[in-house]
Structures are given as structure tokens and as C-alpha cells.
Amino acid sequence: MTSTDLTDSAPVGETIESVNRARTPTLVPAARYTSAEWAQRELDELWPRVWQIAATVDHLPEPGDFFEYEVGPYSALLVRDDDGELRGFQNVCRHRGNELCSGSGSGLSEIRCTYHRWTWDLHGRLREVPSRKGFGRLRNEDFPLFPVAVDTWGPLVFINFDCNAEPLAEYLEGVPADVEWAGIGEFRGTYDIRVELPCNWKTLIDGFSETYHVQGIHREMLPMVDDVNSPQRLWRHHGKLEQPYGLPSPRLRDGADVDTTWRAFVEIMGVRVGKVQHEDPGSAPAVPEGSTLRGVLAEKVREVNAAKGLDFSGYTDEQLMNLQQYNLFPNATVLVFPDLLQVVKSRPGPTPDESYMDTFVFDRHAPGDTSPHARAVPVTLPPDRADFGLVLNQDVRNLQRAQRGLHQPGFTHLTLSGEECRIINMHRNLEHYLGVTPSELTGG
């Protein structure tokens, strides 16, 4: 086999240069997306050991707030304690293993198991055991709740079931510094939209890890996005795409005039320039001599946000018009403009052919805004009722078709190009966590 097979012992953190130098496609076993055995290996070796986005700080804005994060069979209970600190625990009573809390809520002053009423404080310290004498010598300090590592980056709350894992700041590598200029800490979470989809969690997140598919399912974008000259970058765990908006794709043989680009931009993200969804965009605004439509769009973004009390005068046209997309291993994509932050992540479902898509939606607030944080609202919707806008709706519809082909007997491997380097890097890291070696070639 001349193509690069991802069951080879390649280094963790593939480089774009090495992917491109391969000069042959990279092959990934399709069984990784369909096999119950492989899915179990992920549950055993990946999810209990990796940092993952669990919530936003606005899921738990006040002391006594709690939020349950579930991934596969694992459940983490996040709480904001009396001192305002975020804490995380495995969601299990130390007595008989009962689940302690489910969903989300507020007003906790203690964590009490509803089964036999064992009780802990919000620091996870055991405080009450009914009928204690029957246990003999039972010391409170020997039975704290099992801790879960918790840390934040901007408005995002990460957890790791392995408290001995490397610190989050090290795990994120250069990502926070790369996007520090955008000030994502000024965003507040508003909604957490959950949709169940009939595809593997990797099928889901792969759809947000490359833009090779823009020419296929997002053709409406081609007049307003350069999906060809979009540099990518890889760190050890993570990847990044920077994509220019407000100009036509080189894939359009005849290009696109200003009016066509304007109409496409308004259709895809008109709210950024003050247009209501489905509003007739009309003709493109005048482009002053020496300027470009991108420059005019950037100025409109500044004007829209100035009306909200946000000063974007310090951002360049490129910063306002170039999407920064970060793929965080294993299962999240973070989309950043100065006026937009959105997180899409996937979680494994009950079978390899099922997953959950979580979408975090944010609003930006002015620096120093001291108004109370509203609690982010969790919403669960079926795929046919979820409305994320034109592009994301197209992704959701496609994901409902993407898994079925992976089961066909002749389809043994995915065939990936260097343009899909962020997917390749995800698999390199997945191999590392699962301990895949060359001796396991036949097992995929």
C-alpha cells in the first residue's frame, strides 16, 4: 500500500509539511468510525484521560450553581462553591455508587445523595452519614468526593477525569496566545444547544475540521469566502484554520462581482453587518476609491458593534474579516471573530453510530461590564428543529447522511488529503491515547 496509513507509528502532532510531503493520500481505517470494539477503547483510554470542554462559566455564574457534564458512561458534577470557585467531582456517592445530581440548577448549599442521604459540602468534604454507628470506625476525611480536574480558558470550562494530567495551560499549547488579541474573555455564554445525530462523534467533528467540503455542501459561500488561500497550522494536539471572508473563492472560474459577494455575505452572516435574517440585502454599498468590499464590510462590523457599546476601532480589517477556527483535540471546534464566538463539540452516543452535537452560543460584552451574568440556557432539540443558520444547518443535514456509507463492505479506509491535515492530526493523537502500534495494523 503506497498511501500513508494512520496505523503506522507516526509521531503525535503531525506537521502540515510532513503531510504534504507524503505525496500520497493518508488512509484511516473506516472501522474507527463503526467498530464497537474501537469505540470501547476510546471510552476506556481517551475520555477518562483528556481535557475536554464541559461547559461555559455562564452555566454556573453564582455560588451554589451546578452542572452535570456527561461523556459516554462518565459523569462529572461541576459546582461553584461558597467562595465562587469552580470545582468538579465524579458524579457518584461514596456509599453505594448512586448518581448525586443530574442536569443543572442553582441554590446548592450541600451535595446530598437522595438514596441514603450521605452529604458533602461544596468542597467535596463528607459532612453527614446517617446511622453512622453501623459503619464502625468511618472517618469523614477518608471519604471525600472523587475530584475531577477543572480549569478555564476565557469563558470555557474544561474538565479532565485524570487529576494527574498535564495542566490545561500546557495542554492548550499555543492556542490561547494565538488568539489573545481577540479578547474572548469578554464573551458570555447564552445558549447550550444539544442535538442527537446518527453519526460517530468523529464523523461529526471531522465536518468542522476541514473546509474542503465548502465547494460541495456550502456552495452559497463561494462568492464570499476564499476557501483555497486559507492557511492552516498544527500544534501537537490542536489545529487552526484562518479563512478570509468578504471576497470570492478562486474556485469560481469567473469570480464574483461586488453585488454577488455582498448578497452572499449577508445570506451567510448578515447579522454582523446589521442585516436581519432573510432580509433582502439590496445592492452592495458603495466601495470608496482605493478601498475594497472587505474594507467596507469591516467598517460596517465596527458600526454595528459601536451601537452596542463595543469599540472595534483597534481591530484591523483582516482581524474583523478573517475567521480564526481552532480545532481542540479531541472533539471541539472554536470559531472566533472579534464580534462572534461559537463552540461546536461532539460527544459519543450509546453506539458508534450515534453522537451528540453541543453548540455554545455567546454574546460579547464591553470590557469592565459588571452586570450580572445570566445563566446559559441548555436546550435539547431534534435535528429537524435545530436552526443554526444556513451553513450549520447544511452541516447538520449532511451529518445525518455521512455515517451510513462507512458501513459498506468495500469501504475499508477513509482517503485524506493534506488539506484535511487537522483530521489527520486528530487521528495521530487518538493513536497516542489508545496505544496503537504497527502490530495492530490488521485491527485498524
List phi, psi (to 5°) of 385: -110, -5
442 or 440, which is more confident? 440
Looking at residue 71, which CATH number applies to its domain?
A: 2.102.10.10
Does a structural domain hold residue 31? Answer: no
Range of the domain at 118: 51-171
Q: Write the CB contacts of 166 (distance below 8 Å, at least 6 apart in sequence).
A: none
- Domain count for the chain, please give it: 1
Compute the distance between CA of residue 295 and CA of residue 417 in angstroms, rounded to an integer: 33
Average pLDDT score over residue span 432-440? 74
Max intra-chain CA distance, the chain: 86
**End-to-end CA separation in angstroms for the chain:** 15
Please give the pLDDT value at position 444.
Answer: 42
pLDDT: is 383 or 40 the higher one?
A: 40
pLDDT for 7 equals: 39
Task: List Cα–Cα distances, 92 to 97, 100, 105, 114, 130, in angstroms.
Answer: 5, 6, 17, 11, 17
The string of DSSP codes covering 8-63 is S-PPSS--HHHHHHT-S-EEEEGGGGT-HHHHHHHHHHTTTTS-EEEEEGGGS-ST
> Looking at the whole model, is its pTM more than 0.75?
yes
Higher-pLDDT residue of 388, 352: 352
Interhelix angle for 36-45 vs 421-434, to 10°? 70
CB 338 within 8 A of CB 319: yes
227 inside domain:
no
Is the residue at 116 inside a domain? yes
In a domain, 73, yes or no: yes
Tell me, yes or no, whether 331 lies in a domain: no
Q: How many whole angstroms separate alpha carbon 264 and alpha carbon 49?
A: 43
For residue 16, pLDDT over 70 is answered with: no
Residue 398 lies in a domain: no
More confident residue, 277 or 420: 420
Kindly state whether residue 8 falls inside one of the protein's structural domains.
no
Angle CA 357–358–364, to nearest 5: 145
Query: Which residue has better confidence, 387 or 28?
Result: 28
CA distances from 321 to 66, 212, 338 (A): 37, 20, 9
**Does the residue 167 lie in any domain?**
yes
CB 94 within 8 A of CB 126: yes
Distance CA 79, CA 68 (A): 9
Residues 29-42: pLDDT tens digits?
A: 999 999 999 999 99
